[in-house]
Structure 1
Amino acid sequence: MTALHPPGARERHALVVRGGWDGHQPVETTDAFIPFLEDHGFDVRVEESTAVYADERVMGGIDLIVQVNTMSTIEDEEFAGLQRAVLNGTGMGGWHGGIADSYRNNADYLHMIGGQFAHHASKPPEERTGGQSDNYIPYTVHITELGTTHPITAGVDDFELVTEQYWVLSDEYNDVLATTTQEARPFDAWNRPVTAPAIWIRQWGKGRIFVSAPGHRLEVVQNPSVRTIIERGLLWAAR
């Protein structure tokens, strides 16, 4: 494939860390973006464990971390290495539970990422069958005013998805590029609509954080709008 990065540009290094719950297809979804990164001048290293984060020699040379690792834990020395890399300028990006529901045992990780998965609404009780699709509902991703001008989302219109709609707990330090609103239905516990970030970015030390809440499975990241946003987001985050 023809490289898309400028001639003579320094080769950059991307680290893909993937694993956790297989239902999020961490291998398939990250594999979908590796050729894109290679075309944009990245040498890509893939790890199936967070142990690499504790290797200071490796982490010191990484320009971009792509993490899709859901419902896992992280050791203290591993998080320390990850945090040190980001503070020193390594970018970090990911999607869905692979970045926003990764290490519930580490509050400092949640602080760095800026959003934590809390819930995804289900279909009406009478329509549920017990599978993943019970949580696939139609919803709109709304581009914010900031999102209309930011290079990650500029030119992307509001778009519709039928997949898990993440209710994310977050803070005001995020720059939110897109939102989604969970309606209140008669059988829900909440009694008014709730809007949460769907796409956000965050500066952490010298590093940039990019998060896409949409990204449950391969078919979601292959949605043209989602894929465009993720591709742009990873390039924006990289050192």
Structure 2
Amino acid sequence: MTRRALVVRGGWDGHQPEAATDLFIPFLREQGYEVRVETDNEVYADAETMAGTDLVLQCVTMSQISGPALTGLRAAVEAGTGLAGWHGGIADSYRASSDYLQLVGGQFATHPGKEPHLRVGDGSDNFLRHTIELTDLGREHPVTAGLDDVELETEQYWVLHDDLIDVLATTTHPAPEWHPWHRPVTSPAVWTRRWGAGRVFVATPGHSVDVLEHPTVRTIVERGLLWASR
């Protein structure tokens, strides 16, 4: 039986929603999925389409979502449709919607920056060398089992979250003198979430295509897509 994946992409262009999702569409097809691509999240309001969708891969940073579309997405996930994504495409979507944030379980808050004298005025000011560290659960979970911690130089997401998520990997923000917090802060970097009959997968690395091409990050995302799917 053919499984169906719905790729919904758009929002802020800085996260390269087309190029980023294009990395994984061939993988989904190789895994036997029929893939449909949409650039308008209003597809979530189509109950028939959503009922026949086994996996939603969303890459929509910021943007907005209508009431009917959000209701449709939540209902589909609760009924068993998987929801998966990375970075701002899932963890920084629809900031004004508390119901969306509850569904996903974590929301981007900030990405700390370099020392002020090292900043040049572009996005690289927020590229920090940091480590994504597997948790004890992550060392056993099918999404991350057998993988090693990974060191990246890219945006390091500080995430606001609740305790219904199952954290597979974390990253720790230091407390340098140029930022206002007073002790290191550990944020989830990879997590899963059960919602009704559905599954949600989130990886915070993925600011740019080169990060997604990192062998460990790519493996985590590919496994996460399959894990979340109905």
Structures share fold, TM-score greater than 0.5: yes
Query: TM-score scaled by structure 2?
Result: 0.99
- 1:57 equivalent to 2:51? Answer no
User: Which residue of the partner structure matches residue 174 of structure 2?
Assistant: 183
Partner residue of 1:121? Answer: 112
* Structure 1 residue aligned with 2:67: 76
Q: Which runs of 5+ in 1 are unaligned?
A: 1-9
1:68 and 1:50 map into 2 onto residues whose CA distance is: 10
Post-superposition Cα deviations, 1:168-221, rounded to whole Å, max 9, x if no partner, equal 000111100000000000111101000000000000010000000001010011
Match of 2:57 among 60, 66, 72: 66
Q: 2:217 aligns with which of 226, 230, 234?
A: 226
State the SS of the aligned residue for 2:223.
helix
The secondary structure found in structure 2 opposite 1:116 is strand
Taking the TM superposition and a 5 Å limit, the aligned residue runs for 1:16-31 are 16-31=7-22
Say which SS state the counterpart of residue 215 (structure 1) adopts.
coil
Answer yes or no: is 1:90 the counterpart of 2:81. yes
- What is the aligned partner in structure 1 of residue 5 from structure 2? 14
Equivalent residue letter for 1:172? D
Q: Secondary structure at the match of 1:186?
A: coil
Q: CA deviation at 1:129?
A: 1.1
CA distance in 1, matches of 2:102, 2:42: 21
Residues 1:204 and 2:191 are matched in the alignment? no
Q: C-alpha offsets along residues 70-110 of structure 1, whole Å, 9 cap, x if unaligned? A: 01110000001111110100000000010001011110100
**Residue identity in the other structure for 1:25:** Q
Match of 1:34 in 2: 25
Structure 1 residue aligned with 2:123? 132
RMSD: 0.5
Q: 1:208 aligns to what SS in structure 2?
A: strand
In 2, Cα distance between equivalents of 1:57 and 1:155? 38
Percent identity reads 58
The offset of 1:130, in angstroms, is 1.1
- Note the residue ranges of structure 2 that are not aligned, 5 or more in a row: none
Q: TM-score, normalised by structure 1?
A: 0.96
The partner residue of 2:165 within 174, 185, 190 is 174
Distance (whole Å) between structure 1 residues aligned to residue 125 and residue 221 of structure 2: 25
- Give the Cα separation in 1 of the matches to 2:22 and 2:200: 20
Q: Aligned residues, how many? A: 230
Instruction: Give structure 1 regions of 4+ aligned residues with deviation exceeding 3 angstroms.
Output: none
